Every structure is written in C-alpha cells, then in structure tokens.
Amino acid sequence: MTATADDSRLDQLVSGMDQTLVNQTAVNTQLQEQRRQLESQQQYLTLMSQDIGAAIKDFVEKNCPKVEACPAPLGLSDKMRVGALETIWLPDLDVALIARIDTGAKTSSIDASNIKLFERDGKRWVRFEILDPIAGASVSLERRLERTVGIVNSGKQGSKRRPVVKMSVLIGELEQIAEFSLNSGSHKGYQALIGRSILKDVMIVDVSRNNIAPYVRSEMSSSREDKIQ
C-alpha cells in the first residue's frame, strides 16, 4: 500500500472523529437546553400551584361560611339517671309506688280513687285515696286544688276534667314539690307517671333500663324497705 493511500485513510479517520465530537457536542447542548426547559417548567408549575392554592383559600374565605366549633358537651355528672320505670316515694302518704317515666308528658299523674272536691276557708280542696301496694290498703290525703286539666279519651267524644294537686315526691335522692293530676286508675302496670315538669334539668332518662336511680326512703319507712321490689 502506498503512502498516499495511508494518508487518505488517516484523514478520513480524523475527519470521522471530528464529526463524532461535533455530534456529541450538539447532543450535550440539546440535553442542557432540555434540562433548562424542564427546570423552567418545574418552576412554572410550582408558581401555578401556589397561585391556585392561594386562590382557593381566598375563595373559601370570601364565599364559604365559617364553621363554628361545636359547643362542649354538657356535663352529665350533676344529673341523676332514671330508667323507664322507677320506684318513687311519696313522703306525704308514706307510700312507695311504681312510676313510669314519660318525657312525652308535661304534667305528672297518679292513680287515685274516691276523688271528692270540697271547699275549705273559701278555697277549693280535693280529698282522694291512693292504694298502698305493700299494705294493700288505701291511704287518704287532702290537698288544695291547684287547677284542673282536660283529658281527651281516645275513641270517645268530649273530654274529662281532672283535678291537679301538689305533692312532695322523692326519686332517688331528689325531692321535689310537683303537680300531679289525679286519675281514676287509668294507668296499667304502674300507679304513677312522671312527666317533664319533674325531670327537667335534673334527670336523664335511659329507656333501655328500669330502676337505676338510687332508692331512698324516709326514716319512718325504713322498716318496710325490704318489701319493695
């Protein structure tokens, strides 16, 4: 092979290497440009995200009502729990009765018999009897008439007027002077009904249970305590 041919091949090899370097430089330049574009797009997206977040926050603050924190739950420790049925104590009569606790009734009521209205010193009074379920005998009591209430009988026309009196009632450790309407034995399975006027602000009703209030009696009746179920 002649010297002229060798020089020609060397020139071709050098020229190919130069072209390869040129191509590699061009590729590196393109990669750097793409990297700059990606960084620019990333910055743009970050700014857009911040702008969108600020816009949403501003919209919510201007257009959505503020949510007020729920009030703290009322403490229940100062309220006595009672069940659907409770044994109540009537100090005026020295009698214990089974009572239904009824949040649907405003005024309490009690089964009574021989209800008689009369006057005393120009005022209206009521004489009535309550059956003592332990002794099996009726206990008589007289109380001043507070008012009368109209009771509509289901399936019947008209209404009946029932006298209302005030009596002391003890449920658990809470004693109150409360109004009771006098019924003629209309309750079934219990002798008294305790309404909201007695329950309000001092008792919480657990309708799934019975006789959960502490049962407290007056000293005069302590000898009969073991007889009440």
CB-based burial label for 150 (10 Å; 0-12, 13-18, 19+): exposed
Yes or no: say if 202 and 79 are a contact pair by the CB < 8 Å rule: yes
Yes or no: say if 142 and 127 are a contact pair by the CB < 8 Å rule: yes
Per-residue pLDDT of 89-126, as tens digits, reads: 999 888 999 999 999 999 999 999 999 999 999 999 99
Yes or no: say if 131 and 138 are a contact pair by the CB < 8 Å rule: yes
| pTM of the complete model | 0.60
pLDDT tens across the length of the chain (229 residues): 566 666 677 777 767 777 777 777 777 788 887 887 777 777 767 777 777 767 677 766 777 666 565 554 544 458 899 999 999 999 988 899 999 999 999 999 999 999 999 999 999 999 999 999 988 999 999 999 999 988 766 555 656 889 999 999 999 989 999 999 998 876 777 899 999 999 998 999 999 999 998 877 755 444 444 444 4
Lookup: tokens for 66: 């503020």
